[in-house]
Amino acid sequence: MIPATPTGPTTFAEAARTVLTQAGAPLHYRDITQRALSAGLLQTTGATPAETLNARVAVDIQRHGEKSMFVRLKPGVFGLAAWGLQPEPAPELSARGTHLPTWTALRGFLTAVDGKPRENLTALRVAIRALRGEGKDFTQPDAWLHKELDGEAKAMGLALWTVSGKTLNPRYVAECASLASRCDLVEEGDDGVLRCTPSGKGFLSEPQGLVTRHLDAAEGVARVLALVAQFGPARAGELLGPYTEWCAKQTGLRSEATVRVSLGSRLGNLAERGLVLRNGQAYGVTPAGLSWLEQEAQALVEDDSPEDQDELFELIREINEQQQRIRERIRAAVSSMHHTAFEHLIKRLLDAMGYFDVEVTPPSGDRGIDVVGRIKVGITPVTEVIQAKRQQGNVGRPVLDALRGSLHRWSAQRGTIITTASFSKGARDAAFEKGTYALQLIDGEELVNLLVQHQIGLKEQAVKLWRFDPEPFASPSGVGAGEGQDDE
């Protein structure tokens, strides 16, 4: 009998081992969980203890490989390695879709199409293909859905747009439809109606659940997160090399263009979930991203031992914390600068960003313009005027109106306001007001991002990372345990 009261704290993995030992035969993880709960082996307030147990056992197998106490015999069914059973072959990763939607958009798609005839979705896709041939602008779904579509195509498009919280532009519905089909998240019944499969329902009901983790692995999202953790903060171009190498081994993607698009869409997926953070053009892993990698036992360096992985995770966490402290020091230094020094800092930043003929205007007669520079837009050089606002309170709309009024005095085609604070909602709404010059707004957070990106106010220092190499300590081939030892 399984003891009704455990003698001490019991983990999910320990509970699973106890239940399997008592059963003497493989069990599905839901059956293992039910037996563990009934016997009092688990104390949990979680809503999905079965999914948690399944994940913990899967992590043990993934982290320890052949040394794990468990084997997976088929989806959801586990046994003990000591029984000598043949484990299920490890699934091959593929990153099959070049364009990958965000999981928020995919959940909106599944919710919107569930219970709808497939012909409605087909009608929408046909209508969109026709509009693409006419070169329509798809950037504003609220406009073109009402103006360009009608009937079932319009109804389907509006459902996708609204149900997804306006995260799924119906123009890109094909990406979600393809992913949902190949990953068995939705199926068509004999009546022609689309319905979510059990996997699709699991994806909707448990955003951090098993189906999401499987999608992350199968579509290469997990590998991209591991690369960001290992090499970040880094631009997409700096991640492209190692991602290309991985794609060559695990996917059918070969051309640089398709690999680049694949990487970009996966970075967007991770950023939307808060697992990576984009600062300017650079991507860095967040604490939530590191936690996700550790929970999934996702290797940062694929041939590392568990001990090496644990050390690397800890090192990355410490580096992230140190970088955040440096960002805070930069932010504090900028906020305490003299206004003239702040204007010269902006000049230095523009120089680093590729502007030319950059000048700080004289204190008198500048008419609200602090820095003037030129930048090539395409092949055409244009003049840009910048107002530098070192202040505590938000910048309001009157500042934007004054800057627009000064553009013609400098024969400028572009205007930018850079502040150490932020912008009011009215200012942000007015930045792209129709019928007038669009203005670029850079708040304090984005300013720090740009300074860090262009290494103004920081210095990079390389350090050596030691990694243990067990090869020199291995016994020569053919030498057994205890052989070759010196005599006493």
**What are the pLDDT digits (tens) for 136-172?**
788 888 888 888 888 988 999 999 999 888 888 998 8
CA–CA gap between residue 13 and residue 19 (Å, rounded): 10
Would you call the peptide bond into 91 cis, given omega within 30 degrees of 0 as the criterion? Answer: no
In CATH terms, the fold of domain 339-453 is Trna Endonuclease; Chain: A, domain 1 (3.40.1350)
What pairs with residue 140 in β-bridges?
Answer: none
CA-closest candidate to residue 224, choices 312, 64, 313, 93: 93
Tokens of 175: 């990406």
Tokens of 303: 């041939």
The answer, as to whether pTM is greater than 0.85, is no
CB count, 10 Å around CB of 17? 20
pLDDT on residue 272 = 92
CA-closest candidate to residue 38, choices 86, 79, 6: 6
* DSSP tally for the chain: helices H, then strands E: 19, 13
pLDDT on residue 5 = 43
Would you call the peptide bond into 233 cis, given omega within 30 degrees of 0 as the criterion? Answer: yes
**What are the pLDDT digits (tens) for 218-244?**
888 988 998 998 887 888 888 999 889
Measure the N-to-C terminal CA separation of the chain; round to a whole number of Å.
50
Tokens of 244: 């290309």
220-330 and 339-453 share one CATH topology? Answer: no
pLDDT on residue 478 = 57
Low-confidence residues in the chain, pLDDT < 70: 1-9, 46-48, 62, 75, 88-97, 296-306, 309, 364-367, 475-488
CA-closest candidate to residue 345, choices 259, 448, 194: 448
**Is 162 in contact with 191 (CB distance < 8 Å)?**
no
The correct answer on CATH 3.40.50.12780 for the domain covering 220-330 is no
Tokens 């059918």 correspond to: 252
- Hey, where are the domains in the chain? 12-83, 103-214, 220-330, 339-453
pLDDT on residue 454 = 86
What pairs with residue 386 in β-bridges?
Answer: 371, 416
**Is 422 in contact with 395 (CB distance < 8 Å)?**
yes
